[in-house]
Amino acid sequence: MAQPYSHSFPDFGVLCDETRFWVIHRRNCYGPFDYQWSTDLYGLELLYQGEKFGECCNSEQFFADLKPYQLPTRVTEVAMTVVGAIIACNFEAVSGSDRLDHVSKMLLSSGLEKYEISLLDRSA
Its domain, for residue 106, covers 12-119
For 47, the 3-state DSSP assignment is: strand
Model's pTM, two decimal places?
0.87
Residue 34 lies in a domain: yes
Residue-by-residue DSSP string for 61-108: EEEE--GGGT--HHHHHHHHHHHHHHHHHHHTT--HHHHHHHHHHHHH
Overall number of domains in the chain: 1
Task: Render each residue's pLDDT in the chain as its tens digit; 124 residues.
Answer: 456 665 567 899 999 988 899 999 999 999 999 999 888 877 889 999 999 999 998 777 889 999 999 999 999 999 999 999 988 887 788 877 788 899 999 999 999 999 999 988 766 5
Residue 2 lies in a domain: no
Residue 5 lies in a domain: no
Residue 70 lies in a domain: yes
Residue 1 lies in a domain: no
